[in-house]
Structures are given as structure tokens and as C-alpha cells.
Chain A
Amino acid sequence: GAVVSQHPSRVICKSGTSVKIECRSLDFQATTMFWYRQFPKKSLMLMATSNEGSKATYEQGVEKDKFLINHASLTLSTLTVTSAHPEDSSFYICSARTGENSPLHFGNGTRLTVT
């Protein structure tokens, strides 16, 4: 149980274009999902908290206009990287939990390369 699916696993795009990443909770409902970014050989950095039916909460230093988050249903959150730039190239991972004090379950990540 507690499976989180993330798509696509890998994407290459050109500078200036936008990329959408989907995160789905397959066997549970998640009112809250979390988006992380991970640099090579570094730990996870929380970018934002996605809230179903309301605006996302962004961490300090994360541009909300660049990283658009939509949590349209109890099982789907999307992260759109707008006007992508090579420095946005990274590994993006979503996660969700089954309950308030439950551990996070992670998707398999999306490797974004902006050329």
C-alpha cells in the first residue's frame, strides 16, 4: 500500500519552454502532497506543500511563479516548471502521506534536463 506514482521519469526540454510533472497517490487519498528537489549527492530540499483545493505553500527562496503547483484532486498534484532555464535542471520528487503523523512515501522522481 501507499504507492506514489510520478510521471514522467525523465524529460528534456529547451530553455523557455514549460514542463509539467504529475504526482499521483495510487491507493490512498492525499489532501497534502509535497514537492522536493534534489541536487546530485545532496539531500532532499522541500520546495512546496501542495494542498488539495487551495493554494500551495512555498518554501523560502522558491519562486511560486516559476514552479506552479496545482492539486486538483485528492490523488493528483502537478508541478509545472515555467520558462525553464538550464539551472532548473534537477531531480524533482513528490511525496504524500496517508495520515498526519505517517511517514512520507515518495514517487520515483523526475529528472529534468533543460538545454
Chain B
Amino acid sequence: QKEVEQDPGPLSVPEGAIVSLNCTYSNSAFQYFMWYRQYSRKGPELLMYTYSSGNKEDGRFTAQVDKSSKYISLFIRDSQPSDSATYLCAIMISSGSARQLTFGSGTQLTVLP
């Protein structure tokens, strides 16, 4: 079993839809949770960073963490064609080493105009 499982894509939604992207993890030592957006042929861009259970909102994006269920989500409201990208969850154990940072496999999202 992988340490981080991410819902496979591709996901295609109409413009204006609410998008839900999800990851589950197995290691309860994970403490920090991130979502990255990656456009084609570009590096990942940090969207959300949180370390506590509950919701964190930033504009149209909401990150949700449920540590008891080991489940994290990213919600995108009023989705736009410019949101079309691959979304990666990343989870980290408290450590100075990037070895403790584990990425999901990514979900490819297409928002249709």
C-alpha cells in the first residue's frame, strides 16, 4: 500500500462546478499537508499548506484535513478553465528532510468552458 493515495483522474467538469480532489494517507505521523497545482511543463505551485484538522480557505480554494480518518481534500469553487491542471497532494512528517515529504500521484483536472 502506498503511503499516499490520490484519486486517479482524469477529472472533467463544466465551468462553475465545485471540484473535489482527495487523498488518503496511511502514516499517522504525517503532520503537514499541502496541495500543489502543476500546469503542463511547469513546476508545481503551492496552493495550500496546513497542519491542523479542519478547513482552511483561500479565495475559491478550501483545504480540508481529517486526521482521524487520514483523509485530505481540496475543494475548488466556481471552477474556471484556468484551473485546468494537475493537482498534487503532498504530506510531510515533521522533519528537515524532504525524504519525509510524500506526494500523491496527481489528479488531472479539466474545466470545460
Interface residues of A, Cβ cutoff 8 Å to B = 4, 6, 32, 34, 41-44, 46, 49, 59, 91, 93, 95, 100-109, 111
Which chain B residues lie closer than 8 Å to A42 at the CB level? 105
- Which residues of B have CB within 8 Å of A4? 43
Pairs A–B under 8 Å by Cβ, sample size 12:
A41-B106, A41-B108, A44-B88, A91-B41, A93-B44, A102-B49, A103-B34, A103-B46, A104-B34, A105-B46, A107-B43, A111-B41
**Chain B: interface residue count, which band?**
20 to 34
Whether B101 and A104, one on each chain, are in contact in the complex, defined by CB atoms closer than 8 angstroms, is yes
- Contact present for B96 and A100 (CB under 8 Å): yes
Given the complex of chains A and B, what is the CA–CA distance between A102 and B31 in angstroms?
12
Q: CB distance A106 to B96 under 8 Å?
A: no
Which of B92, B104, B108 has the most CB atoms of chain A within a 10 A radius of its CB? B92
Are B43's CB and A32's CB within 8 A?
Answer: no
Chain B's nearest CB lies how many Å from the CB of A67?
Answer: 16
B108 to chain A, nearest CB (A): 8
State how many angstroms separate the Cβ of B102 from the closest Cβ of chain A: 9
